[in-house]
């Protein structure tokens, strides 16, 4: 694929009000629809989206997929290489999560430690671990090795390096394994947003 199309779609207000298992199931369903939108945009016909017993997405016809969902937005992407993505709302985070997510050497890569930097690290690591089919149990083995700029981090996992791209929109941050061309497709409640990468202005 010359271009990959991660789709981020606003969750309808009625679905945001759901609780418990009903909400999880509905958000998962919406995220799978976002995966299908990505496949359609790439001209890919996907079969049934299945997961391994460990919960990792299984390739479909040689194509890989990843999804993420939060209360306000769901996301999905299809690629012809192992892919992972994540979405989070930009918000204050507990200091304990900082220590769990990265060590002192990783935090020293930044000019200062902040909630935004934490969420960049968290979403980047989640994206890498999703791409290799491993859950957050391997969080400490996935390390940030370089802050390239406001939109890219370099990470390593088991001696392999990964470039992760960040995208900022409506008080949220999304992360995806970088690709030569990433065309972000964002649908807000008011319609489609400009999908080019936006400056860090949140």
Determine, yes or no, domain membership for 164: yes
Determine, yes or no, domain membership for 199: no
Q: Report the predicted TM-score, pTM, of the whole model to 2 decimal places.
A: 0.91
pLDDT single digits (tens) 120-169: 999 999 999 999 998 788 898 999 999 999 999 999 999 999 999 999 99
Determine, yes or no, domain membership for 57: yes
Domain total in the chain: 1
For residue 189, the model assigns a pLDDT of 61
Determine, yes or no, domain membership for 170: yes
Short-list 3, 7, 1, 40, CA closest to 195: 7
Q: Which two tokens stand for residue 2?
A: 């010359």
Determine, yes or no, domain membership for 182: yes
Determine, yes or no, domain membership for 36: yes
- CA 182, CA 53: separation in Å to the nearest integer? 30
- Residue 126 phi/psi, 5° resolution? -60, -40
Q: Which domain holds residue 73?
A: 7-192
Determine, yes or no, domain membership for 152: yes
Determine, yes or no, domain membership for 198: no
Here the contacts of 164-167 (C-beta below 8 Å, separation 24 or greater) are 164/123, 164/124, 164/127, 164/128, 166/120, 166/123, 166/124, 167/6, 167/197, 167/198
CATH code: domain of residue 84: 3.90.470.20
């Amino acid at each position: 694929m010359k271009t990959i199309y991660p789709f981020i779609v606003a969750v309808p207000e009625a679905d945001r009000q759901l609780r418990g298992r009903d909400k999880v199931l509905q958000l998962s369903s919406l995220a799978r629809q976002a995966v299908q939108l990505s496949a359609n945009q790439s001209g890919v016909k996907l079969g049934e989206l299945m997961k391994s017993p460990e919960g990792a997405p299984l390739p479909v016809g040689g194509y890989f997929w990843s999804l993420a969902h939060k209360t306000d937005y769901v996301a999905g992407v299809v690629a012809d290489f192992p892919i992972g993505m994540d979405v989070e709302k930009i918000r204050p985070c507990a200091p304990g999560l900082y220590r769990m997510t990265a060590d002192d050497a990783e935090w020293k890569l930044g000019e200062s430690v902040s909630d935004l930097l934490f969420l960049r690290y968290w979403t980047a690591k989640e994206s890498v671990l999703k791409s290799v089919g491993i859950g957050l149990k391997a969080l400490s083995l996935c390390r940030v090795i370089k802050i390239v700029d406001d939109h890219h981090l370099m990470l390593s996992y088991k001696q392999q390096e990964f470039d992760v791209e960040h995208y900022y929109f409506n008080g949220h941050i999304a992360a995806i394994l970088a690709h030569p061309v990433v065309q972000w497709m964002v649908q807000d409640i008011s319609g489609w947003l400009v999908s080019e990468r936006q400056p860090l202005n949140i």
